[in-house]
A and B are shown apart, each in its own frame.
Chain A
Amino acid sequence: MNALLEKHTKDIEDILKKYPEDQKRSAVMPLLYVAMRENGFVSKQDMYDIAEIIKVSATQVASIVGFYTLYHDKEGGKHRVQVCNDLPCALRGSGEYLEKLCENIGIKVGETTEDGLVSVESVMCLAGCDKAPMFQEQNPDGVFYHEDQTVESTLELIEQWRKQEAK
């Protein structure tokens, strides 16, 4: 029984086709993204399932989860607001933006709101330096850019997420 494979058979087959027959290990990164579609993080069972699909040890899969910042092994907010506060963005006010945003939401960097909707993280350069302040939203569906932000525009967006959730 491989729950991940069973649930996403077609997508996983398509991913495996991208790589040579004897190099299926290459699929570990796209498979981890598939696993995160469920809850926004990779469970232990997912790691075992992926390991079985590409024929490596679960420890090797876990090492990939640990090495790369976009994989999470713990539940966070449904929408992870990952604000770039690296040098070029900081020169254009991202530090102040991040601070005020957190103040308004009532959480600290690295924390999640009580309703589990939003986490705020401070991350490294996202290649959006000319449109700072900016953040990427990571959610189970993928990664989405929001550029030229103000605290107000971000709070508005969060409000929209909240409304969607209430539906």
Chain B
Amino acid sequence: MSKVDKHILLRHHEIPDIANIKTYQADGGFETFRKVVSTKMDPVELKNIVHDSGLRGRGGAGFPTGLKWKFVDDNNWPHYLVVNADESEPGTFKDREIMEKNPWQFFEGIMVSAYAISANDIYIYLRGEFWELAHVLDEQIELMKKEGLLGKNLFGTEYELNIFTHLGAGAYICGEETALLESLEGKMGQPRVRPPFPPAVGLYAKPTVVNNVETLANVSLIVEKGANWYRKFGTEKSAGTKVFSLSGRVKNPGNYELPLGTPFRELIYEHGGGIIDDRPIKGIMAAGASSSIIVADDKALDTPMDYESVPDVGAQLGSASVIILDDTVDMSWLINKTTHFFKHESCGKCTPCREGAFWMTSLTERIRSKKGTMEDVILLEDVAKNIKGKTLCALGEFSTEAVLSAIERFPDDFDAQVNK
């Protein structure tokens, strides 16, 4: 049995040498995969275990993983598992640490998951910037082939499994699962119109599950230890632990794996060591640049970080990339940064996002350079509202979150910038 102490995913904190395959195997590593394949476990049973564990997608949407797997169309073959390692949300750097520091658990997780959806081929889509990491993964895949963990006739059965890495080349939008699939097919990364969703029509028009790295890294331990074991962590509706990427104006930025439902205060002040120079905290962006800005009052700081509670303070948990803002941060500066990002990353397919991000950036530029008036702020709000809810994918929606919340919740920052 694998030893699990404080961390389920960032286990290199307890087992520093876990990136060595021998160390991982000595801890019971790959036994779950071996058992699942060699005993010809029923994939339906595996889907049920993951469904019952309450595991939800860690890429941002929080969609129940087991349910996604159950949507896979069993009348259309082959099936594909595509691992979303495009980690590009500003403020997110967790998948990288999981793959770098605990790679074999990541691999075992995706291998068990592939078996569960009856897939023989896995593509790991990594953002192009993870060039060095992708080359390490390629070497590790070769090693697993030699160890008899990948290839044909695994453990004397008919099951075959292959893993391929695929490097993106710098496009935030490819984290959106249908844009990712387009990119993997050799096209521009532009989202598809849905439905159909990938479990019905995915890669090469075949049933495909796209899951985030962190999500899948949980799977082998959930299968080994059972759904109830996983449910002991976190809250009833947000089961398990989550890797929180903490950045911005804190003393100790980094990844912290904590049970879902841990309050913001604990993450920021205990683990993060508090604010730089002990200044007052002003705002929190819980879901990276895609986040509404939470006013960091006592109520917010005591809010549990889980999928249900964060909306109570007017934001989403998303990928849990928690960016901390202190009293030195001017919100008109901040939204100039975020609109610039979304303008750059809009794929250009649908008009409200393509044009809207452009106009929002121009307006925030004008406001920042002190040439704006209150009318510009009102116009900016109007443009944002006309993007929201009118785009093909979530990128357009995300581009408005910081803008609208900044104007509504931090009006003084705009008053100070504009000409009366």
Cβ–Cβ contact B344 & A92, under 8 A: no
Query: Which residue of chain A has the shortest Cβ distance to B246 in the bound complex?
Result: A130
**Chain A interface main SS type:** mixed
In the docked arrangement, what's the CA distance between A127 and B288, Å?
A: 11
**Chain B interface main SS type:** mixed
Closest CB of chain B to A76's CB: distance in Å? 14
Interface size on B, residues (CB 8 A): 54
Convert B163-181 into 0s and 1s, putting 1 for each residue whose CB lies closer than 8 angstroms to a CB of A. 0101111111000000000
Convert B241-252 into 0s and 1s, putting 1 for each residue whose CB lies closer than 8 angstroms to a CB of A. 000011111000
Residue B93 lies at the interface, judged by CB distance under 8 Å to chain A: yes
Cβ–Cβ contact A68 & B169, under 8 A: yes
Residue A155 lies at the interface, judged by CB distance under 8 Å to chain B: no
Number of residue pairs A-B, CB distance < 8 angstroms: 139
CB-defined contacts of A164 to chain B, threshold 8 Å? none
In the docked arrangement, what's the CA distance between A147 and B249, Å?
A: 17
Cβ–Cβ contact A71 & B169, under 8 A: yes
Cβ–Cβ contact A87 & B338, under 8 A: yes
CB-defined contacts of B334 to chain A, threshold 8 Å? 87
Convert B343-359 into 0s and 1s, putting 1 for each residue whose CB lies closer than 8 angstroms to a CB of A. 01101000000000000
Residue B255 lies at the interface, judged by CB distance under 8 Å to chain A: yes
Cβ–Cβ contact B185 & A87, under 8 A: no
Residue A29 lies at the interface, judged by CB distance under 8 Å to chain B: yes
In the docked arrangement, what's the CA distance between A32 and B169, Å?
A: 10
In the docked arrangement, what's the CA distance between A142 and B288, Å?
A: 27
Query: Which residue of chain A has the shortest Cβ distance to B289 in the bound complex?
Result: A87
Cβ–Cβ contact A86 & B289, under 8 A: yes
Convert A99-133 into 0s and 1s, putting 1 for each residue whose CB lies closer than 8 angstroms to a CB of B. 00000000000000000000000011111111010
Residue B253 lies at the interface, judged by CB distance under 8 Å to chain A: yes
Residue B132 lies at the interface, judged by CB distance under 8 Å to chain A: yes
Q: Indicate whether A124 sits within 8 Å of B189 (C-beta atoms), given known contacts A30-B167, A130-B247, A144-B132.
A: no
Convert B144-180 into 0s and 1s, putting 1 for each residue whose CB lies closer than 8 angstroms to a CB of A. 0000000000000000000010111111100000000
Question: Which residues of B approach A to under 8 Å, CB–CB?
Answer: 87-93, 95-96, 127-132, 135, 164, 166-172, 183-189, 204, 245-249, 253-255, 288-289, 321, 323-325, 329, 334, 337-338, 341, 344-345, 347
Query: A87-B289, A129-B245 given. 11 additional CB < 8 A pairs?
Result: A26-B166, A32-B169, A68-B128, A70-B129, A87-B341, A91-B248, A91-B325, A126-B129, A128-B93, A130-B255, A145-B129
